[in-house]
Amino acid sequence: MNFSKKNHEHKNKNANNVSKKVILSIAVIAALGLTSCKNETKKETETTTIEVSKEIAMTDLSFGVRGNCGMCKSTIEKAANGVEGVSKATWDVDKKKIDVSFDDTKTDVMTIHKAIAASGYDTEKVTGSEEAYKDLPSCCKYDHEMTMNQ
């Protein structure tokens, strides 16, 4: 009698263990589910961060460029805007300086200096092409000693 009672209790303990295991498994599955949800959220955040840093990659700076008039302005700005990655180029006829905005993953400031110089205009880093200078209208034949960044 005693023996069978003990056996019965033992069986009950086993049953308890089994249901505990089931509850544990459910808890683990739920935890895994939560983790994967969190991972998805993380990925979305990372994508957003990349998009933001792409906008930050636009570089704004200015440098000196020699020139005389409105025709110079359009030639200089056209040359700068012709560089891939440049989104804005504004030359100031009084200050003899250009403001440029560009994507520094696509170009760099020296490429812009060279493009302007190729159109015949001196920049503070690159001397303008003599060939292109000869072809400029007489009103645009600026003084090579002119002070830039006034």
Q: How far is the CB of 130 from Cu ion (least distance, A)?
A: 17
Closest to Cu ion by CB, 57 vs 71, is 71
For the chain, the DSSP string reads -HHHHHHHHHHHHHHHHHHHHHHHHHHHHHHHHHHHHHHHHHHHHHHHHHHHHHHHTEEEEEEEB---SHHHHHHHHHHHHTSTTEEEEEEETTTTEEEEEEETTT--HHHHHHHHHHTT--BSSSPPPHHHHHTS-GGG---TTPPS--
Which of the stretches 26-34, 77-85, 106-114, 133-141 binds Cu ion when contact is defined by CB under 5 A? 133-141
Q: Which of residues 36-95 bind Cu ion (CB under 5 A)?
A: 68-69, 71-72
Q: How many residues bind Cu ion (CB under 5 A)?
A: 5
Closest to Cu ion by CB, 25 vs 74, is 74
Q: How far is the CB of 89 from Cu ion (least distance, A)?
A: 16
Neighbours of 47 (CB within 10 A): 10
Q: How far is the CB of 76 from Cu ion (least distance, A)?
A: 9
Q: How far is the CB of 63 from Cu ion (least distance, A)?
A: 19
Q: How far is the CB of 137 from Cu ion (least distance, A)?
A: 7
Closest to Cu ion by CB, 102 vs 121, is 121
Length of the chain: 150
State the Cα–Cα distance between residues 94 and 82, nearest whole angstrom. Answer: 23
140 lies in the site for Cu ion, by CB under 5 A: yes
Closest to Cu ion by CB, 51 vs 94, is 94
> Which residue ranges make up the site for Cu ion (CB under 5 A)?
68-69, 71-72, 140
